[in-house]
Amino acid sequence: MDNSLSFREEKAIKTIHEATSATPQSTEGLQPVIEVYGGASLRGEVRVSGAKNSALAIMAGTLLCSDDCRLRNLPALADIDRMCQILSAIGVKLRRSGDCLDIDARDIGQSQAPYELVSQLRASFFVIGPLLARLGTTQVPLPGGCAIGARPVDLHVRGLHAMGADVRIEHGVVHANVRGNRRRLTGANIYLDYPSVGATETIMMAATLAEGETVIGNAAQEPEIVDLANFCRSMGARIKGDGTATIMIEGVERLHATDFPIIPDRIEAATFLCAGAITHSEISLFPVVPDHLSSAIAKLREMGPEVVVEGPDRVRLIPKSLRGADIETLPYPGFPTDMQAQFMAVLAMSEGNSVVTETVFENRLQHVAELQRMGANIKVKGNSAIIQGVPFLSGAPVMSTDLRASAALVIAGLAAEGKTVVQGLKHLDRGYEDIEGKLRGLGANLRRVWVPAEDTAG
């Protein structure tokens, strides 16, 4: 396979904004790409940002409160910007300063989050629980489909229905109203058929202001659920059992002001551990919660590298030669689906065979084709990827298919021979704060440049 860029592509990349990765004055007809020149070894410490998935759920959770909320350690990401736009659209006043966000949701109205925004961010659907709990009625557009699978919201809807809401879907919009003459939802026993992160968050948030006790069985146990519960408790909510499969929430009448820091992003941290492993580099990460990284650390150790936990908020990766390992994605505390693509990039260059099985989402192996373009030896069978490690990858133009896939391609590019051009950065920018800057700080050779959109689309 010819992995080289066409002459036109090369010329475009050379001539357009060659000397600088600054955003050009007009970006019309241009798209950003990341050029990665492989082979540099990395060294140093990465500062890990606040957790995107925690931040998004907690931002939705601020709708529960009619006092001021301050969130700290908020990552600077496109998804966070979108969530800010959605909150603004429903009447929330926001003031952002660095990683701090002041939120005043006193005067939220009935206005609906615009479909254009909701369709770009699945997590925006999470506003349905808090809005219904606070107002007794709400309309939220259904989130659009997603590259990694169908991602229905039936478990969210069934939970709200069990708590006394009439829920109907009309013209792509979910209309939810508390049944009868009541304004408040009623506590209920809800068993989730699958420990969905989003559904657990929706029901937990709705239950904080419901009348009586709600018990969520087979709840998701992800650290982001615990962070959301901690946030709700900091406003006076009564929640127990978060971090286990049974969460109990005793509803209260109102919640009060809070000032809350978001936990560090375990997926970003694991992504950098993969960058260290694939480039055989020693790197350390700070701040992290090592427990949140248990499955990633265990898997990396099985693959060869040493991972040393240095105190309560720092880990260090010490490189060793890489060997294959099998991975199956599972709900927490199993191996996270959000780390699957990045680990696959490392396994592609690890000695021996590996099998990666994706069980959480039905269509999350699209990065295989892009890794193959770089010379990886991977075959897909059903929801498994069978990988035979190769000693070299070669740089190629590649297309991001989703957020974590885009990080996997950057990581593969760090270890590949020559230049990799990663396109489709709208995915990467959703979830990685300044990934180029952080990698460059470790010594990686990469930069963002603007190229004509049509030249790289094909």
For the record, the structure tokens of 418 come out as 């020559």
If one asks whether residue 196 binds ligand UD1 (CB under 6 A), the answer comes out as: yes
If one asks whether residue 361 binds ligand UD1 (CB under 6 A), the answer comes out as: yes
Among 15, 20, 44, 154, binds ligand UD1 (CB under 6 A): 154
Rounded least distance, CB 112 to ligand UD1, Å? 20
For ligand UD1, the closer CB: 199 or 399: 199
Nearest Cα to Cα of residue 357 among 390, 385, 334, 393: 385
If one asks whether residue 51 binds ligand UD1 (CB under 6 A), the answer comes out as: no
SS3 label, residue 329: strand
SS3 label, residue 95: strand
If one asks whether residue 46 binds ligand UD1 (CB under 6 A), the answer comes out as: no
For ligand UD1, the closer CB: 9 or 429: 429
Q: Is the Cβ–Cβ distance between 176 and 166 less than 8 Å?
A: yes
If one asks whether residue 456 binds ligand UD1 (CB under 6 A), the answer comes out as: no
**Residues assigned a catalytic role:** 146
If one asks whether residue 35 binds ligand UD1 (CB under 6 A), the answer comes out as: no
Among 128, 153, 376, 428, binds ligand UD1 (CB under 6 A): 153
Among 9, 242, 268, 338, binds ligand UD1 (CB under 6 A): 338
If one asks whether residue 152 binds ligand UD1 (CB under 6 A), the answer comes out as: yes
SS3 label, residue 333: coil
Q: Which residues contact 208 (CB under 8 A, 6 or more apart)?
A: 64, 133, 232, 237, 238, 239, 249, 251, 252, 255
Rounded least distance, CB 157 to ligand UD1, Å? 7
CA distance 330 to 340: 10
If one asks whether residue 337 binds ligand UD1 (CB under 6 A), the answer comes out as: yes
Rounded to 5°, angle at Cα 259 from 108 and 159: 55
If one asks whether residue 151 binds ligand UD1 (CB under 6 A), the answer comes out as: yes
- Strand-pairing partners, residue 423, are 399
If one asks whether residue 191 binds ligand UD1 (CB under 6 A), the answer comes out as: no
For ligand UD1, the closer CB: 332 or 450: 332
CA distance 447 to 457: 19
CA distance 369 to 53: 27
Summarize as ranges the residues that interact with ligand UD1 (CB under 6 A): 53, 56, 122-123, 149, 151-156, 194, 196-199, 220, 224, 336-338, 360-361
